[in-house]
Structure 1
Amino acid sequence: MNDSTLQYRAATTKDLPTLVAMLADDALGALRENPALPLSKEYLMAFASIDEDPNNELIVVELEAQIIGMLQLTFIPYLTHQGTWRCLIEGVRIHRQHRGQGVGQALFQWAIDRAKHRGCQLAQLTSDKQRPDAIRFYESLGFVASHEGFKLKLN
């Protein structure tokens, strides 16, 4: 895909129905997301918190004024690695009609450039082990599964 045809911008509340629908459009997302309209207030509250936090960015990628991808960047200061910043990349989705066309690679290059611009020394992400295609994609971009991740559900 020619990256010059893609547009990147911060998401707005107007985008939320499209974003939640994209999050719900796979086997795992269908189990945990609810794209029914009107969206639940929790999505609106989460968006407001992300939007107000200078260390969080919810980004969409558009092609011909249509949202075709998204991700969230969280910039985290660390004491480790001599007090450097990291960029956590989460909530990555490419619309199913645009997968395999280079959109994901372009979106990640944009995100990595954004992390560098913010002074980050490391970009990191997690991926569910049930997403082998996503894991292969991240590895193709140079991400290395160097750590074992753990999660604890709190509710």
Structure 2
Amino acid sequence: MAAEFDAVLSVAPVLIEPATRADLPAIVEILALETMFGVRDSVDPADFADYEQAFAAIADDPRTTLYVARVGGRVLGTFQLLLMRALTRHGAVLAIAEAVQVHPEARGQGVGGAMMAFAAEEAKRRGAASLQLVSNKKRLDAHRFYERAGFEKRLDGFKMEL
């Protein structure tokens, strides 16, 4: 299957656009393929209503946009861009990239780079003073990718499961 992605990526540009409801099965499939931390997402049809409900809430929120990276018509990546007004930095708008995922067999082919370049440009266009993201400390390949994409490793993050 990797040869299939290589063939598509070699002839088609990466198109970044807001996700549609029709993209949801492909997005969930990509999320379900990330198993480094156990199974968090599922392509089980019994679970799909949860994703549909979340998609509808995201689509209704003007502060966040779910994007897909499409190559040759196929969804190979996804991320969510959130914008928020902060009181710090004189009331700056801050952008956060969340749930950044590329299909495992399409990694290293420019999809993620296109997504992060788009995220930075879109955040800037929408008035953000910075773009940040968090990545689990165990995802060392992802950290190298983000540094190559222009992010600086300068924050420590904390998380509490609720």
- Superposition TM-score, scaled by structure 1 size: 0.91
SS at match of 1:145: coil
The residue number in structure 1 matching 2:25 is 17
> How many angstroms apart in 1 are the aligned matches of 2:120 and 2:47?
31
| From 92, 112, 128, the counterpart of 1:104 | 112
Q: In the comparison of the two structures, how many residue pairs are matched?
A: 153
Q: Unaligned regions of 5+ residues in structure 1, if any? A: none
- How far apart are 1:99 and its partner, in Å? 1.1
The residue number in structure 1 matching 2:161 is 153
Q: Which has the higher contact order (CA 8 A, sep 6+)?
A: 2
State the superposition RMSD in angstroms: 1.7
The residue number in structure 1 matching 2:131 is 123
> How many angstroms apart in 1 are the aligned matches of 2:51 and 2:85?
26
After the TM superposition, which residues 4-153 of structure 1 pair with which residues of structure 2 at under 5 Å, given as runs? 5-28=13-36, 30-153=38-161
1:24 touches 1:30 (CA, 8 Å); kept in 2? no
Give percent identity, aligned residues only.
37
- How far apart are 1:29 and its partner, in Å? 6.0
> How many angstroms apart in 2 are the aligned matches of 1:138 and 1:103?
13
Q: Unaligned regions of 5+ residues in structure 2, if any? A: 1-8
- Partner deviation per Cα, 1:31-75 (whole Å, 9 max, x = no partner): 211111254322111111100001100000111111111100000
- Partner deviation per Cα, 1:4-47 (whole Å, 9 max, x = no partner): 82222111122111111101112236521111125432211111
